[in-house]
């Protein structure tokens, strides 16, 4: 009797530093987390889908033309709408749970590759420190954390011991593709493993898995139009300009600098020993993706965390695997982290929301039936409240000229005056670039607004196209 009990206790003790880091990291995230700028649009569209029972062919709350929009992440919209129906702060609590699960899965995958408790703990410190802008915001990519970690865990194990369980990546990608566009990056990582590592060992099976994974990406309400959705997402004006969510890493940005330093530290740890070729390819690909958009840094750091142990696979010092006691230890570490984090988030109340509910209600009353131009995340919160917006997220659904005008408005550039003229009511945060632009635009009449906000009625708005 003492043997199994002793081994269980040893398994729990072997996760002690990882559990401590997880608890501290989740406590920090819970004290900082809030709803970000591309979450509430999922809620607004999801409310429409649940109400009508139909997948929209245009953004339902938008005044600007979005006809022909390919709405792929319908499952994400339904999830967001359901969470919102349970309470405005439910998405924040769910976000912390998903982050915890993703971190524990990544930690478990690293431990299964032979990484020590201390090595995984410091890797998690680097991951969380370098990903605060991702892990600390509830955004659409929240729904990608767990699928990405699962795919990495499957690939790491399959490299060591290839078998038919590789087929698990197909259903994971199929579900993931209905949640968030990062499924495309995950599919690229799968492709790196299949083509570089597995093809020569199990060619027929590998081709079958690869083709099935690509097809799984198209198992969405848009079917064969799904690739068009991805093309539009990656070709939007914000991505071309490298602005907003598509901004490139900047050495003048403290959070970007920490992300780059964390990635460098993990890269040194990973590359100090010889790695399988597919790992080099996957890391290089995500390095390029991160250089193109800082938002992709979280995926690079997650991959490096899983790879932090030296590669011992296919040798006499093979992978130890994941036993039931290790799973129990990881589960208990997750519970410890959530016991610390969730009460912190609950105590913060409405402070976790992207826009104050009282302000949203007051601004919605001012808006009435008018078409509103406002910055995110306020604009998306207004959409949830039933306000009609000129342009907002999802930015790729709109015509390129409208995308450009809206981005110019957010940056306070002259091109934003077209966005102002296309709206009935302009709402800005006092003292910001959009506020200065609106204040310097002729033909606007100020109206009463909640404290901290500025509201202008457009005297002669441009007619809708």
pLDDT of 204 strictly over 50: yes
> For position 332, what pLDDT does the model report?
82
How far is the C-alpha of 379 from the C-alpha of 409, rounded, in Å?
A: 13
* Higher pLDDT, residue 111 or 331: 111
Query: Which tokens go with 462?
Result: 């441009």
Measure the CA–CA gap between 78 and 74, rounded to whole angstroms. Answer: 6
- pLDDT of 328 reads 77
- Is residue 35's pLDDT more than 70? yes
Q: What is the pLDDT of residue 7?
A: 57
pLDDT higher than 60, residue 165: yes
* Beta strand ranges found along 150-258 (DSSP E): none
DSSP string, 7-37: HHHHHHHTTHHHHHHHHHHHHHHHHH-EE-T
Contact 186, 155 (CB under 8 A): no
Residue 315 above 50 pLDDT? Answer: no
Closest CA to 177 of 236, 230, 131: 230
User: Residue 320: pLDDT band by 50, 70, 90 thresholds?
Assistant: very low
**pLDDT for residue 323:** 56
pLDDT at 13: 74
Q: Which DSSP symbol is given to 172?
A: H
Per DSSP (E only), the strands in 286-424 are 371-373, 388-389
8-state DSSP, 427: E
Confidence at residue 330, expressed as pLDDT on a 0 to 100 scale:
79
Number of neighbours of residue 35 by Cβ within 10 angstroms:
24
Q: What is the mean pLDDT of residues 386-400?
A: 95
Which string of DSSP letters, residue by residue, matches 384-397? Answer: HTT-EESS-SSGGG
Mean pLDDT of 186-213: 96
Q: What is the pTM of this model?
A: 0.92
Q: Which of 2-16, 71-85, 88-102, 334-348 has the lowest mean pLDDT?
A: 2-16
Beta-sheet strands, E only, within 333-414: 371-373, 388-389
Residue 336: its pLDDT value, please? 84
Four-CA torsion 378, 379, 380, 385, nearest 10 degrees:
90
Return d(Cα 20, Cα 24) in angstroms, integer: 6
């Amino acid at each position: 009797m003492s043997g199994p009990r002793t081994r269980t206790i040893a398994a729990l003790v072997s996760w002690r530093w990882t559990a401590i880091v997880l608890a501290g990291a989740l406590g920090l995230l819970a004290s900082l987390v809030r709803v970000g700028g591309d979450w509430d649009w999922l809620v607004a569209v999801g409310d429409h889908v649940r109400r009508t029972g139909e997948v929209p062919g245009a953004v339902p709350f938008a005044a600007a033309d979005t006809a022909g929009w390919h709405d792929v992440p319908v499952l994400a919209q339904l999830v967001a709408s359901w969470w919102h129906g349970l309470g405005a702060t439910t998405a924040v609590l769910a976000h912390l749970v998903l982050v915890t699960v993703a971190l524990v899965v990544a930690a478990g995958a690293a431990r299964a590759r032979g990484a020590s408790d201390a090595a995984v703990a410091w890797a998690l410190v680097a991951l969380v420190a370098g990903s605060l802008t991702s892990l600390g915001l509830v955004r659409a990519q929240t729904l990608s954390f767990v699928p990405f970690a699962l795919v990495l865990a499957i690939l790491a194990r399959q490299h060591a011991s290839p078998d038919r369980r590789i087929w698990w990546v197909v259903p994971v990608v199929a579900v993931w593709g209905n949640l968030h566009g990062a499924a495309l990056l995950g599919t690229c990582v799968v492709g790196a493993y299949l083509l570089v590592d597995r093809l020569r060992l199990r060619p027929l099976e590998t081709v079958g898995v690869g083709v099935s994974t690509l097809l799984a990406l198209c198992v969405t309400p848009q079917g064969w139009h799904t690739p068009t959705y991805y093309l539009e997402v990656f070709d939007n004006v914000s991505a071309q300009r490298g602005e907003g969510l598509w901004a490139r890493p900047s050495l003048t940005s403290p959070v970007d600098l920490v992300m780059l330093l964390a990635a460098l530290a993990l890269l040194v740890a990973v590359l100090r020993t010889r790695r399988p070729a597919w790992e080099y390819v996957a890391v290089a690909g995500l390095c390029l993706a991160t250089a193109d958009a800082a938002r992709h840094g979280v995926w690079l750091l997650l991959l490096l965390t899983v790879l932090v142990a030296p590669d011992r696979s296919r040798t006499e010092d093979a992978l130890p695997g994941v036993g039931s006691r290790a799973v129990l230890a990881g589960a208990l570490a997750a519970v410890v982290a959530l016991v610390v984090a969730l009460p912190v988030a609950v105590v913060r109340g409405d402070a976790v929301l992207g826009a104050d509910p009282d302000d949203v209600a007051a601004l919605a009353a001012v808006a009435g039936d008018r078409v509103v131009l406002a910055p995110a995340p306020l604009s998306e919160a207004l959409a949830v409240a039933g306000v009609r917006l000129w342009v907002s997220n999802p930015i790729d659904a709109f015509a390129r000229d409208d995308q450009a005008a809206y981005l110019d408005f957010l940056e306070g550039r002259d091109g934003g005056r077209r966005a102002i003229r296309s709206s009935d009511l302009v709402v800005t945060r006092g003292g910001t670039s959009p506020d200065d632009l609106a204040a310097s635009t002729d033909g606007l009449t100020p109206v009463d607004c909640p404290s901290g906000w500025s509201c202008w009625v457009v005297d002669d708005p441009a007619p809708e196209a």
